[in-house]
Amino acid sequence: MKVTKACMVSTMICAFLFALATLNSALAVSFTAEMVMEMKGQKTTCPFYFKDSTYRFDTVQGGVKGYFIVKGQDDFMTFVVPDKKGYMRVPKQAAILMKNNLFEAFFYAAKKYYKLGSKSKEALNGLECRKEIYTIEGSSGPEKAAVAWVAEKFGFPIKIITSHKGKELAKVELKNIEEKELNSSLFQIPPGYKKIHPSEVGPAKEAKREPAWLKKVKSAPVLNPPFERTLKEGEVIRVKVEPNSYVTFEMQSPGRDRDQWARVEYFAFKDGRRIKNLGEYGGFAAAEFKELPEGTDEVVLVVLKRSPRIKASRLASSVIEIETVKAPDNRYFSSRHFSRLKRPRITLKDVPNDGVNSKGSISFFSRKVNVKEKFYLEEGTSKSWDVFKYGNGKKINVRVNVNKGNVHVFIEEAKASASPSPAPRKGAPVARDKGPRPKAEPIPIAIKFGRWRVKQFTSIPGMKALVPAGDWEMCINQENVIPLKIIEYPICKISKKEIKASTVVFDVTCSGSGQKIRSHGMVTYKGMDLKGGYTVEMGDGSRGIFQISGKWLGNCE
């Protein structure tokens, strides 16, 4: 840039123009390099191009060959797929989840979560660099999270290392840097290319590798519920599947901090062969598998991380709900607890091995019925009542009052031939429940229908805070109670949906271009708020764990 005679007007103007000329010269730098990225023991190398704060690098994402174009002032990255003559726009912050661009993942984390700890000068690959060390707040104070070497000449990092608790997580470095003029077309979408949807791009087929734990299954111990034991990382156990029953698993991690959470994965097996992945669970999540693939004879549990304590119970397949009442306490079950069943039954069972027999009362009432009966249960014994026989099929509410001991309460579907407790005879004396009685009508609405705003978060190693991973608004109504945007996509189908009061357990499968993506989890509505979580399993075996929260906005338009 030429400095004109206007510089003579003022020393200040001259200095400004000189600084501007220097800045423009710096921004005009361009170079090629070899980008080397290391993560999880895998090393990849690809060409890298830089010009005027815009860069491009070739890559393979999910088996699809293409290249990223990233511009400094653009909030999105562009992924170009030559084989499809198309491109996709991806938010830069998604790099922190997809692990496909360590530069943008670092920029986002440095802005949102890291704190610059120190700066110093250091030469790297023949260039003068500004070495920046970033920290993040850990459970015991600041911890080193990343180190970046920013080339002064380019204003861009040529090496980044991220770490967690002193252990290296990922590294990217630009090597063999060569300054040269680059054609601007390298950083533009080729003419004629159209915007495409991710479902239109199919990954290349790769040979599947069998996981190491699969070899342990044959010699793994077979456990029969109920049981409770602590398992070690890498341990495998087998649980037999029995007719007319299902198994529930409760997990406890070594600690409440996310860095102490354990992770386990469940699989359905038939004749010693794996037939379905039932999902990955972390922290303190409970799992139950009422519906298994046909022929399943075992559920195999694999401990992926740390040492969880697992408590397993076997329940009759007719049971839809179970609660435990400890004396002195009571539970109220409104008619909505029984509305999904044709022949609802309630069973009380004394909690075994607690050394105490149980006693109390059970009350059945509606607008026209008010019946109270006392019960006494010896160690481990049970008693059942057919709810549908009270009040000639009218909506019945039940209250269980435990005066002594501990009682399991089961709500289940009774068999047509079962008649464990006949309805009271006409004219028989009836014990009146003198306590306060909740209203039987109207039935309380467990889920607030209307328009909800949902936010999604995920966790990244080395970051104490959860990372935002998207937000959206959607209508929750009688037909749709799953607050995920993907259910509106035509390629996605709901394969499982169970509603228990205000809690929804779901399983959604999306299929396109020969690949399947499965999302399964649970969400609980509470007034004008919702909270939950789910796991996404990709067709290439990778997965992500997300948490969601939401706020009710108002009625649907």
3-class DSSP state for residue 68? strand
* The 236-240 sheet, strands edge to edge: 222-223, 236-240, 298-305, 263-270, 273-282
Task: Give the separation between CA 353 and CA 399, rounded to whole angstroms.
Answer: 25
Matching fold, domains 212-316 and 321-413? yes
- Would you tell me which CATH number, out of the four given (1.10.3470, 3.30.70, 3.30.1300, 1.20.1070), belongs to the domain 450-554? 3.30.1300
pLDDT at 317: 64
Half-sphere exposure of 155 (CA within 13 A, CB side): 14
Half-sphere exposure of 82 (CA within 13 A, CB side): 8
pLDDT at 408: 86
Task: Give the separation between CA 13 and CA 382, rounded to whole angstroms.
Answer: 93
Q: Going by C-beta distance under 8 Å and a sequence separation of 6 or more, which residues neighbour residue 82?
A: 65, 66, 190
Which helix (H) or strand (E) segment holds residue 108: the answer is helix 102-112
Whether 201 and 194 have beta carbons less than 8 Å apart is answered as: no
**Paired tokens of 227:** 């049981």
Task: Give the separation between CA 301 and CA 308, rounded to whole angstroms.
Answer: 12
pLDDT at 181: 93
Whether 377 and 407 have beta carbons less than 8 Å apart is answered as: yes
Task: Give the separation between CA 396 and CA 393, rounded to whole angstroms.
Answer: 8
pLDDT at 99: 64
* Structure-token match 């070497």, residue found: 149
The pLDDT tens digits for 503-534 are: 888 888 887 545 678 888 889 898 889 998 88
* The 286-288 sheet, strands edge to edge: 227-230, 309-316, 245-252, 286-288
Domain ranges for the chain, please list them: 11-200, 212-316, 321-413, 450-554
CATH class of the domain whose range is 321-413: mainly beta
The architecture in CATH of the region 11-200 reads: Clam (2.50)
Q: Which parts of the chain have pLDDT scores under 70?
A: 1-28, 62, 96-99, 139, 199, 201-208, 317-321, 391-394, 415-446, 459-467, 489-491, 512-515, 538-542, 557
Task: Give the separation between CA 434 and CA 74, rounded to whole angstroms.
Answer: 69
Q: pTM for the whole thing?
A: 0.41
Task: Give the separation between CA 432 and CA 314, rounded to whole angstroms.
Answer: 36
pLDDT at 459: 61
Query: What amino acid is encoded at 397 in this protein?
Result: N
Nearest CA among 226, 258, 230, 250 for reference residue 239: 226
Domain 212-316 coded CATH 2.60.120.380: yes
pLDDT at 96: 65
pLDDT at 15: 39
pLDDT at 288: 79
* Structure-token match 């271009």, residue found: 513
pLDDT at 420: 45
Which helix (H) or strand (E) segment holds residue 530: the answer is strand 529-537
Task: Give the separation between CA 333 and CA 409, rounded to whole angstroms.
Answer: 10
